[in-house]
Structure formats: C-alpha cells, structure tokens
Structure 1
Amino acid sequence: MTATVQPKMTSTTAYHEAGHVVAAWVQGIGVGSATVVRNGDIAGSVTLAQANQRIRVGLDGAGAWKLRMRVEKEIIVCVSGPLAQRKFSPRSMRRWHGAGDYEAAVNWASSVCGSGKQIGAFITWLETRAETLLDHRWPAVCAVAEGLMRSGTLSQTEIEVLLARPTLVGQDD
C-alpha cells in the first residue's frame, strides 16, 4: 500500500516515524509496525510490540528502578520522531508536529517527576540523549524512512530485516 500524500510530506513523515522506530529498536523495545499511510488527521504511526506492559512498584520501592528505566526509554522513543524530522528537514517542523509525542513524554515523565520544572528538565535531558542516539544511528533512520516511502507500511519482520543490516550498526550510545 502506498501513502497518498505529497512526496515532501511523505518523506518528512517517514523520517519522523523512522526516528521512533530506530529509538525503540536501539533500546530493545519491539516494534510491531510503522506506517506513513494517512488515517484521518494522523499522518503516520508506529506500533510498539511491548506497549502497555505494566511495572509494579511495591511499597518498599521494589521495581522503582525498573520503572525509571522504562520511562526513560519510552520518552526517548516519543521525542525521537520530532527530532528525526527536524534533523532531516528543519523547515518542515510546525508548532503542532510532534504535539502528541510530547504530550505522551510529559505523561511518562509525570510518573517519576515531582513537578513541572522537573518534568521539563528530565525531558530536555532525554532529548539530548535521543539526539545522540539518532546521530549515531542516522543510516538506520534513513533505511527505515526509505522503506516507509517505498511501501507506506512496514511490518515487524520488514523492520527487523532493514535494521539487521551490518552497515546500519552505529556507535554505542
């Protein structure tokens, strides 16, 4: 299936979604699928294979570290879409691009931060980590984006095949 949008819009959306895919993949979060086929107001999306897994934190704090690591990974995935789009085409970014991604990042951050100021600082720090991840894995982002522009939608298997190429392995993050 091929997306029915203008090529420039498809390419910026493809890089946006590819940023999410590569950030998830690098951090060991499974990706179920990715698409740039428009669905109403949604220009593209990524489905994570591990979505909605719950982490229990006991009254004694057991599980808190695991929750913190999960939150960091999820926020990095959230912000990597807009960051990849901006890296690919800085002029393509609009105020509303990535709004849902940042809303999700704030929701994740609020589960481990105590105030709005802490949430902002935490997300800013994780954006810096995401930028480094994307810089180190940019060939993988390009490969996924090109696959999305070609096919419109990539399955989990197609994503895994694209990302398994030895030339796409970047530096440690």
Structure 2
Amino acid sequence: MRRRGRALRRPGRLRTERALSPVVGKSLELGVVVLFVAVLSASFYGGIVPEYRTTAAAEAGDRALVGGAERVERAVPERPGRIERRVAVSLPATLRGDPYRIRAASDPEANATALVLDHPDVGVGGRVRLSFPTRGANVTGTWESASDSWVVVRGGSERVSVSLENGRGDSDGRDGGRS
C-alpha cells in the first residue's frame, strides 16, 4: 500500500509544478509586450515626434512670415499722396509651443528690406524679402507673437514709413485701413 500512496502523491506534485507553466509563460509574454511598448515610446518621443513638431512649426512659421509680408506690402498704397493707415496682422500665438518674433531687417547692399522670423528653436525661422514696386518704404519695428500686431503706414508722396507695432488698436477710430 505504500506504493500506492507514493504513486498518488507523485502525480499531484507534478500537477502543481505544471500549473506554474502557464503563469510563467503569460508573465514572459507580458514582459515582451511592455518592452516593445517602452522601445516604441522612446523612439517616438526621442526622435520622431520632436522632428515632426519642428517641421510643422517651420511650415506654420513660413506661412506666418509670408502672410505678414503680404499685409505689409498691401498696406503701402500704389498711388503717391499723404497717408496714415493702420492694418491688423493675424499671427499664430506660438510655434512649437514657444512665442516668437518677426522683425524688419534692412539689407543696405541690396537696398531692400526683409521680414525675419526669430524663434528659440534653430529649426524654425525664415526670411522673406519685401517688395514695394511703385515707391520705396522704410520698414522698422518688431512683432511679438503673444500680442496684437499692426502695420502702421505714414508718409507723403516721396517716401513712406512703415512700422511693425504691437498692442491694442487705437480707440479713436483710426483703424479705418484695418482689414
């Protein structure tokens, strides 16, 4: 009878050892999945996502820069005469999560002025040359993205002064040139 007792105990012990196999297998599968997700997340947030954000911000910056240049060029009338005009300019508040600025920069050698986008991220920026076909214009100033932006044009028949300004519009109703 002892043999029977031993025979009965032995298969029972094997059953408990075999019961651990599915648990160990599932734990290993879970470990592999967690490792895969960790590697995938690290590659996205370490390389792919920041590059995409910079590329998207550079595209949006180019559009803001070209749109700003268009507003400046349209604010200067073609016909000579006395002018005082204030035109609103719409800019995105941030690019890639950071505020930026657009400034006027003159190039004395080319006798031209350009708008330059300055951003903390090196991958975001740009420069666009302004063109005034009928008369010259002296462009100065800076737009900060975090505030309202305006093009202010003043001048006479010969030369026009264009200023890039920030802040609220005039309360005296001089925003007639606003579009």
TM-score (norm 2): 0.28
Q: Write 1 or 2 for the structure with the bigger share of helix.
A: 1
Whichever of the two has the greater Rg, that structure is: 2
Return the structure number with greater relative CO, CA threshold 8 A, min gap 6: 1
Higher strand share: 2
TM-score by length of 1: 0.28
